[in-house]
């Protein structure tokens, strides 16, 4: 399971690098689809990953105020900060945990932990696909989405 997260984090960091070439206006300009701008897409990815992985651990949900994360640096810092905690948890992941039930604090719904981690993985890849279209609309080459040959280790 960890390999997928390593893939997502590697790709996400490449998008953070890629975004450095953009103006503040291009980062926040309203676009069609998804979360409607590039910066908020990256913040939304961090937010969703953090909320679900904290829910699995029965930790309380942090509600992110999107108005506070107005620069690429702030979003990247939050991504780095939260990733440490998430990675620490995922290193303890095992097949036995898959069918354990999590009650989600924001809705009270119940899901298996296996379903939740897959949801988080797919969620990020989906939004990154949206970024790739917006990149082309900006006449730029998107970050490669290929998972193969990134030197990811299976865990």
Residue ranges for the known binding site for a divalent metal cation are 44, 123, 127
Beta-carbon contacts of residue 59 (< 8 Å; ≥ 6 apart): none
Does 112 interact with a second copy (rule: CB under 8 A)?
A: yes
In the bound state with a second copy, the residue whose beta carbon lies nearer, of 67 and 109, is 109
79 C-beta neighbours (distance < 10 Å), count: 21
**Of 13-21, 62-70, 82-90, 116-124, which segment contacts a second copy by CB under 8 A?**
116-124
How far, in Å, CA of 69 to CA of 153, rounded? 32
| CB distance 147 to 7 below 8 Å | yes
Cα 88 from chain centroid? Answer: 16
Does 5 interact with a second copy (rule: CB under 8 A)?
A: no
Q: Closest approach of Cβ 136 to a second copy, in Å? A: 4
Q: Which of 24, 101, 103, 145 binds a second copy (CB under 8 A)?
A: 145
| CB distance 115 to 122 below 8 Å | no
The size of the interface with a second copy (CB under 8 A), counted in residues, is: 39
Does 103 interact with a second copy (rule: CB under 8 A)?
A: no
DSSP labels, 58-115: TPPPP---GGG--SHHHHHHHHHHHHHHHHHHHTT--GGGTT-EEE-TTT--EEEHHH
Q: Closest approach of Cβ 99 to a second copy, in Å? A: 7
Does 132 interact with a second copy (rule: CB under 8 A)?
A: yes
Residues that bind a second copy (CB under 8 A): 3-4, 7, 32-34, 95, 98-99, 109, 111-112, 114-116, 118-119, 122-123, 125-130, 132-137, 142, 145-149, 152, 154
């Amino acid at each position: 399971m960890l390999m997928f997260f390593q893939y997502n984090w590697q790709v996400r960091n490449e998008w953070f690098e890629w975004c450095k070439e953009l103006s503040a206006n291009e980062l926040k300009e309203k676009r069609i689809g998804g979360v409607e701008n590039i910066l908020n897409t990256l913040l939304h990815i961090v937010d969703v990953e953090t909320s679900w992985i904290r829910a699995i651990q029965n930790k309380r949900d942090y509600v992110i105020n999107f108005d506070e994360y107005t620069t690429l640096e702030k979003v990247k810092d939050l991504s780095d900060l939260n990733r440490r905690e998430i990675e620490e948890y995922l290193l303890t992941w095992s097949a036995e945990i898959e069918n354990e039930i999590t009650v989600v604090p924001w809705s009270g719904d119940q899901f298996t932990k296996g379903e939740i981690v897959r949801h988080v993985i797919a969620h990020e890849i989906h939004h990154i696909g949206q970024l790739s279209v917006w990149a082309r609309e900006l006449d730029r080459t998107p970050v490669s989405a290929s998972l193969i040959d990134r030197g990811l280790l299976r865990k």
